[in-house]
């Protein structure tokens, strides 16, 4: 007698209920939101780190240039720390072989000036930290009353510049440097490109110079050059500052 096997029962397929679908969408949305937050935070950390790296690299490069200049500072010349027309200025004589970066001049010394320079681009909101180095190379055929030729050459020799009286340092060097040097970044012509050797860094909102004198206790008394400017020459070598501090941000 034939036997009949029971027909297997079919399982009915069930879809997701509306509540299950809403819960799944909520979980998925939470995961996407969390991922976006993690990605955004990571990008901020990377951006901040890169900015700090660039800032530290720029600061180290500037510090290298400053130390190199001050190693050549000659106390047989002069040092000025102060401001002109509200612009912070630090200028001094450097002894030793110097070469022009814009021409073919060679000298036995130079004048170095650090200052806050105005960026004359209309849309610029911050200024530039500038370093101006003028080669001391006297042209005997040039007009002795006009030591300011085009470029980075100063029409005088080291002996002449070293012996400038304190008052003449301001009138013949510092004031012309402070009033005649504005820079353009980004440049829009060849002449402005040639001026970029003066730019140490951009986007500077504040530049300050300080100088320190040694107290009897051995500590250093710091003076803000903006409120207490000073000019020192070879005539008063014992009164020169023992340290200089440059602060910018």
The string of pLDDT tens digits covering residues 53-100 is 766 777 788 888 999 999 999 888 999 999 888 889 999 999 988 888
Residues 6+ apart with CB under 8 A from 78: 92, 93, 161, 162, 164, 166, 169, 231, 232, 233, 234
User: pTM value?
Assistant: 0.75
pLDDT at residue 52 is higher than 70: no
Query: If pLDDT is split at 50, 70 and 90, which confidence band does 154 have?
Result: confident
Three-state DSSP at 55 gives: helix
Tokens coding 54: 């660039």
Give the domain ranges of the chain.
56-248
Which comes out higher in pLDDT, residue 15 or 88?
A: 88
Decide if 182 contacts 94 (C-beta within 8 A): no
Give the integer Cα–Cα distance in Å for 204 and 197.
Answer: 17
Give the integer Cα–Cα distance in Å for 244 and 91.
Answer: 12
Give the integer Cα–Cα distance in Å for 242 and 219.
Answer: 11
pLDDT digits (tens, 9 = 90+) for 172-184: 888 887 766 678 8
């Amino acid at each position: 007698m034939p036997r009949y096997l029971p027909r297997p029962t079919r399982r009915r397929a069930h879809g997701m209920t509306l509540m299950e679908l809403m819960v799944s969408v909520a979980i998925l949305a939470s995961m996407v939101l969390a991922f976006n937050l993690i990605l955004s935070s990571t990008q901020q950390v990377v951006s901040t780190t890169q900015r700090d790296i660039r800032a530290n690299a720029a600061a180290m490069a500037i510090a290298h240039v400053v130390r190199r200049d001050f190693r050549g500072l000659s106390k047989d010349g002069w040092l000025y720390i102060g401001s002109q027309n509200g612009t912070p200025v630090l200028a001094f004589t450097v002894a030793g072989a110097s070469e022009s970066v814009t021409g073919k001049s060679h000298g036995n010394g130079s004048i170095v000036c650090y200052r806050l320079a105005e960026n004359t681009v209309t849309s610029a909101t911050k200024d530039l930290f500038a370093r101006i180095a003028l080669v001391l190379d006297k042209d005997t055929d040039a007009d002795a009353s006009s030591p300011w030729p085009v470029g980075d050459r100063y029409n005088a020799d080291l002996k002449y510049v070293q012996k400038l009286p304190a008052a003449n340092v301001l009138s013949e060097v510092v004031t012309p440097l402070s009033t005649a040097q504005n820079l353009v970044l980004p440049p829009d012509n060849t002449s402005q490109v040639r001026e970029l050797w003066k730019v140490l860094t951009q986007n500077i909102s504040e530049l300050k110079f300080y100088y320190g004198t040694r107290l009897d206790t051995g500590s250093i008394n710091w003076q803000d050059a903006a409120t207490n400017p000073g000019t020192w020459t070879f005539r008063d070598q014992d009164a020169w500052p023992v340290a200089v501090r440059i602060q910018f941000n």
